[in-house]
């Protein structure tokens, strides 16, 4: 099929971009750490705004909470704290713990999908892949209603998304043991055919034609199954970045959201300046994401702009320099610097979990106790 040439975006983006966050959480047994199939009673126990901002997920052991559209990080933080605490209270009433962790840390006995036609169709099409243990992500939406511009921005994001992935790594455990990967969620999701690095597209028409071909090939059931790490949202007028594990704390989520908004704003500037997006081989982008999932920030990352492996924190520092104008424009620079320094001291969620495992002789319950407290800390 012939691809259309790129069309220049028609409208400039506003100086301040809106943002919102979707956070997925596990519902775990307080004693064993096993996933509990109590999502329905948890959602039923929510009321008011929290109920409206909750979503059913693909596992009975998961609940998703969605912030409203926000204009600044302080507002976003307030919503995140309120939603986490409401969901944690509902989980406790159902005999479970709400835990912000990227992958099922112990085990999940009940892997049936909720009774929805679409979920059953996914189960039939993808078989055992659709019944893997639950995984939880953090999806950041940045307001960008021009789809042409959104597609071009996603092209420009490709070199930097492995750094975002490494920052959010928060799932080293599986079956009660360390997997050797900082983000086991990322490894688990690779089994799905429509998840992975966003391909390079010439235009929105090229994007739509490719999605249509993948649906026709049976790779996706519909356009909502575009699970690439960055995409024009299928639901909202946004660019959605969905590469990260759910973050252990609200402060971690706020940091990631601020960085993603600044990334999108910076790439909007690049598009309007006429700068071409780097054309990087898909296999190299995939390799960079694998390295990010494996090492987190405790090793090297692949520099997709220059080539080769470099210390992860060198790339984080370069990301911060690159985003400084956009962070300044949004009033987020000081907060972002403070939070980056905190993560430099404390490590990612995966690093923190491993530190607890090391000092407790592998006590997974100690890790889950810590994660439970961190989930609702305000």
| Distance, CA of 30 to CA of 94 (rounded, Å) | 11
| Distance, CA of 101 to CA of 169 (rounded, Å) | 9
- ∠ CA(32), CA(39), CA(248), 5° rounding? 65
The answer to whether residue 313 scores a pLDDT higher than 90 is: yes
The answer to whether residue 317 scores a pLDDT higher than 70 is: yes
* Confidence grade of residue 13 (pLDDT, cut at 50, 70, 90): low
Task: Please state, in angstroms and as integers, the Cα–Cα distance from residue 103 to each residue in 38, 193, 199, 214, 245, following that order.
Answer: 17, 19, 25, 27, 8
pLDDT, position 234:
87
Domains within the chain, CATH numbers bracketed = 19-376 (3.30.590.20)
* Confidence grade of residue 7 (pLDDT, cut at 50, 70, 90): very low
pLDDT, position 15:
74
Give the mean pLDDT of 289-313.
97
Cα 148 off chain centre by: 23
The answer to whether residue 1 scores a pLDDT higher than 60 is: no
The SS3 of residue 27 is strand
The answer to whether residue 232 scores a pLDDT higher than 50 is: yes
Give the mean pLDDT of 37-59.
96
The answer to whether residue 303 scores a pLDDT higher than 70 is: yes
Q: What are phi and psi of 26, to 5 degrees?
A: -95, 150
Give me the helices (H) in the chain, please: 39-45, 48-52, 73-93, 117-126, 147-157, 161-167, 184-189, 204-216, 250-272, 282-295, 312-329, 333-346, 349-359, 364-376
The answer to whether residue 374 scores a pLDDT higher than 70 is: yes
Cα 169 off chain centre by: 10
The answer to whether residue 143 scores a pLDDT higher than 70 is: yes
The SS3 of residue 309 is strand
The answer to whether residue 5 scores a pLDDT higher than 50 is: no
Q: Which contacts of 264-267 are long-range, i.e. CB under 8 A and separated by 24 or more positions?
A: 264/17, 264/142, 264/144, 264/153, 264/157, 264/239, 265/13, 265/17, 265/142, 265/326, 265/329, 265/330, 266/322, 266/323, 266/325, 266/326, 267/152, 267/153, 267/156, 267/157
Percent of the chain having pLDDT more than 90? 94
Q: Which of 10-24, 196-210, 216-230, 263-277 has the lowest mean pLDDT?
A: 10-24
Tens of pLDDT, residues 236-252: 999 999 999 999 999 99
* Confidence grade of residue 14 (pLDDT, cut at 50, 70, 90): low
pLDDT, position 6:
44
Q: Indicate the pTM of the whole model.
A: 0.95
The answer to whether residue 10 scores a pLDDT higher than 50 is: no
The answer to whether residue 30 scores a pLDDT higher than 70 is: yes
| Distance, CA of 92 to CA of 58 (rounded, Å) | 21
Which residues have C-beta within 8 Å of that of residue 26, sequence separation ≥ 6?
A: 35, 61, 62, 98, 99, 101, 104, 134, 136
- In Å, the largest CA–CA distance within the chain is 59
* Confidence grade of residue 11 (pLDDT, cut at 50, 70, 90): low
The answer to whether residue 34 scores a pLDDT higher than 60 is: yes
Task: Please state, in angstroms and as integers, the Cα–Cα distance from residue 259 to each residue in 140, 232, 312, 329, 340, following that order.
Answer: 10, 18, 16, 13, 10
Tens of pLDDT, residues 75-113: 999 999 999 999 999 999 999 999 999 999 999 998 989
Give the mean pLDDT of 347-374.
97
| Distance, CA of 245 to CA of 297 (rounded, Å) | 14
The answer to whether residue 130 scores a pLDDT higher than 50 is: yes
Comparing C-alpha atoms, which of 67, 221, 90 is closest to residue 143? 67
């Amino acid at each position: 099929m012939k691809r259309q040439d790129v069309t220049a975006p028609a409208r400039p983006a506003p100086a301040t971009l809106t943002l919102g966050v979707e956070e997925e959480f596990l519902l775990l047994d307080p004693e064993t750490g096993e996933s509990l199939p109590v999502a329905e009673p948890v959602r039923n126990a929510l009321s008011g705004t929290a109920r409206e901002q909750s979503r059913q997920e693909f596992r009975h052991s998961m609940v998703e909470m969605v912030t409203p559209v926000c204009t600044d990080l302080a507002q976003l933080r307030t919503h995140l704290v309120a939603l986490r605490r409401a969901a944690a209270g509902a989980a406790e009433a159902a005999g479970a713990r709400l835990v912000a962790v990227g992958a099922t840390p112990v085990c999940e006995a009940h892997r049936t999908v909720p009774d929805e036609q679409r979920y059953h169709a996914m189960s039939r099409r993808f078989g055992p892949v659709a019944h893997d243990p639950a995984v939880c992500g953090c999806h950041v939406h940045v307001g960008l209603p021009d789809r042409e511009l959104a597609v071009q921005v996603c092209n420009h994001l490709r070199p930097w998304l492995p750094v975002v992935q490494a920052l959010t790594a928060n799932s080293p455990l599986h079956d009660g043991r360390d997997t050797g990967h900082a983000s086991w969620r990322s490894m688990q999701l690779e089994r799905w055919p429509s998840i992975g690095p966003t391909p390079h597209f010439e235009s929105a028409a090229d994007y739509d034609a490719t999605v249509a071909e993948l649906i026709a090939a049976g790779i996706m059931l519909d356009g909502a199954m575009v699970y690439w790490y960055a995409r024009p949202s299928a639901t909202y007028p946004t660019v959605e970045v969905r590469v990260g594990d759910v973050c252990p704390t609200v402060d971690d989520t706020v940091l990631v959201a601020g960085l993603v908004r600044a990334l999108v704003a910076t790439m909007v500037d690049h598009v309007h300046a006429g700068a071409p997006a780097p054309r990087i081989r898909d296999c190299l982008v995939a390799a960079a994401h694998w390295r990010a999932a494996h090492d987190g920030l405790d090793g090297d990352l692949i520099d997709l702009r220059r080539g080769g492996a470099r210390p992860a924190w060198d790339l984080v520092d370069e990301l911060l320099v690159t985003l400084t104008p956009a962070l300044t424009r949004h009033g987020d620079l000081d907060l972002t610097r403070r939070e980056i320094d905190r993560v430099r001291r404390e490590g990612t969620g995966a690093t923190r979990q491993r530190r607890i495992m090391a000092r407790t002789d592998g006590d997974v319950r100690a890790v889950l106790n810590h994660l439970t407290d961190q989930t609702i800390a305000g």
